[in-house]
A and B are shown apart, each in its own frame.
Chain A
Amino acid sequence: MNRGSLSLYSYTLLPIGSPIGRKSSRISCTNLGYIILCFLASALSCNDLLTEILIRLPVKSVLCLKSVSKNWLWLLTHKDFTNRYDKYNLSESAGLFGSNLYISYNGGGRRTLYSRMLKFCVDRHGIRIAQSCNGLLLCCSDHCNNDRGVRKYYVFNPTTKQFAVIPSVLGGDEARKSIWFMGLAYHPRNCVHYKLVCIRILEPRAEYLFQIQIYSSETRMWKISVESFSANRPFSCRGGVYWNGAIYWAPSKRNQMYFKLDVEQLQTLPSTEELMMAEQHEYCEVYLGESRGHLHLTVYRTCPNYSSSLNVYEMLSDHSGWFVKYQIQLDGIASALPKFMDKRWHGYVFGVIDVVRGEEEEEGAFVVLMGNRQIVIYNVHDNSFNSRMYRTTNCSTNFHRHIESLTSF
């Protein structure tokens, strides 16, 4: 038990107005709530025990309790509490943020409120989500491809509404314009702090020279991590995923690397046979994502015809390769939803948008697929699925996982 740091607030927790603080004789012994209070407050480390109780509450209740009094607000937003809370509550995926819609995994979906969510800070270009990482969202200014120098980055917690504006990378305006990739690295188990990894192109572009910078929320500063490295081709950095202390990118011919943060090195990621074969064709959809401590990959060749099954690969814990974890049968979906996988229909691209593991090994895992204006949630254990219609103006939309987390920064 981490008594050392928690004792910081052990003396201030006593609620204001409590008879314990004052020598009051007006004690109502029949009031059971008061009895709880007495017992909880009677020992030095009582707040460790109160923490034990409060971390077992759902997020909704904890947020509500913040309004009880200033002391409780202080306790419940203290880093020691929020980190302990996030560590205790395993990351449950609540749903997905799309660019104009929200897909809920628990029923319901608050589309109208979601559009307000991204107005947490005033940005004249609007704000969009770039990456989701264990409860935190990396966001950036939208609609400024013409002038990347003005693009701002934010780290935002949609549950607590806290956000931080990230200072500019080192190198001023030129550096900001040459940002190739920005990724967020955060896991409550490792640290209360988060890091950002930025890859930028060094001039001249023709030589494919890149630089890596790292930002730490602890120091609030950027530093140059890898002064420069060269790549044979434009280094494809689609869809960064933070897993196991490193940032991964969907493996492709143009990028077979991942960046390990502790040693600040780029290392090689093994590919799958299917992926290597698929890349010889013109186009394939690749999904890379993390769920409950596992890294998943799916490959789907979009032409000429759909294949009847889809493999979900999982990375071996020693990084030596991938193995097929689940196999999805697409025939059932194709017959139930005839146009689902037809990519010629309004240009909607069929693909996997999320792979979610269950709490137990043998149950609860599902894969979310998107097709012709429909979302299919596919249960990998019994091959059943249900589908929902979604109206979206954007046909190829990026999805980011919504995880409830109390982390404060």
Chain B
Amino acid sequence: MTSSKTIVLRSSDGATFEVDEAVALHSLMIKHRIETGGADSTTIDVPEVTGNTLSKVIEYCKKHVEAPNSDDLKSFDTDFVKVDQAVLCHLAKASYYMNIKGLLDLSSKTIADMFKGKTVEQIRETFHIKNDFTPEEEEELRKENSWNLFV
């Protein structure tokens, strides 16, 4: 085995994580930083992500880099996003900034599924959104979509 290079990732709150380079490269943002950073880029700052989230992200990358073909990858993914909404959002944001497609797909899809099946009123309530349509405008919109029953 050749000596595997390690990279240190530093989160917004100063927490550091040492990971194999291969795992770090799963993030295209880090890959780009390493490739353009020069020879001494062994510590990469990730200021958009807190330590808690970064450790979860690393856990995801590790699993997908070290065992990409394992049978339990799917169940790993399913369990990975069984977290509360705040953590899920942090993960989505982190995967977006760090450009990790698989995790972005996974977390976005999970959040999207939370929208499905909710009525307009429920969405407004959940997100504290005021209804600024007049009754006529709302009726117009409702009519537009009501007979779109091909979907």
Contacts and interface: CB of A to CB of B under 8 A. Distances in A.
Contacts of B96: 48-49, 52
B120 interface: yes
B130 A49 contact: no
Interface string A26-39: 00000111111101
Interface residues of B, number: 39
A7 interface: no
Nearest to A56: B112
Contact of B115 (A18, A65, A67, A402): A65
Contact of B133 (A46, A70, A113, A404): A70
Nearest to B149: A110
Given A16-B132, A36-B85, A69-B131, A60 B141 contact: no
Among the interface residues A15, A35, A68, which one has the most CB atoms of the partner chain B within 10 A? A68
Interface in B121-135: 123-133
A402 B48 CA distance: 43
Contacts of A40: 89
Given A35-B89, A64-B145, A161-B144, A95 B150 contact: yes
Interface residues of A, number: 50
Contact of B112 (A57, A64, A104): A57
Contact of B145 (A66, A110, A402): A66
A67 B134 CA distance: 11
Given A33-B128, A35-B85, A110-B150, A57 B93 contact: no
A4 interface: no
B127 A37 contact: yes
Given A39-B86, A110-B150, A63 B115 contact: no
Contacts of B131: 68-69
B128 A65 contact: no
A64 B93 CA distance: 25
B111 A53 contact: yes
Interface in B45-99: 48, 84-86, 89-90, 92-93, 96
B53 to A, nearest CB: 11
B108 A15 contact: no
B150 to A, nearest CB: 6
A8 interface: no
B111 to A, nearest CB: 5
A69 B148 contact: no
A12 B92 CA distance: 21
Contact of B130 (A15, A66, A113): A15
A94 B150 contact: yes
B86 A69 contact: no
Contacts of A56: 108-109, 112
B32 interface: no
Given A16-B132, A102-B150, A39 B90 contact: yes
Given A19-B128, A39-B90, A52-B96, A404 B151 contact: yes
A172 interface: no
B22 interface: no
29 contacts: A16-B129, A17-B128, A17-B130, A35-B85, A36-B89, A39-B89, A40-B89, A46-B93, A49-B108, A52-B92, A54-B115, A57-B112, A59-B151, A64-B145, A67-B120, A67-B138, A67-B145, A68-B124, A68-B129, A69-B124, A69-B130, A72-B129, A73-B141, A95-B150, A102-B150, A113-B150, A116-B147, A117-B147, A161-B144
Interface of A: 15-19, 31-37, 39-40, 43, 46, 48-49, 52-54, 56-61, 63-70, 72-73, 94-95, 102, 104, 110, 113, 116-117, 158-159, 161, 402, 404
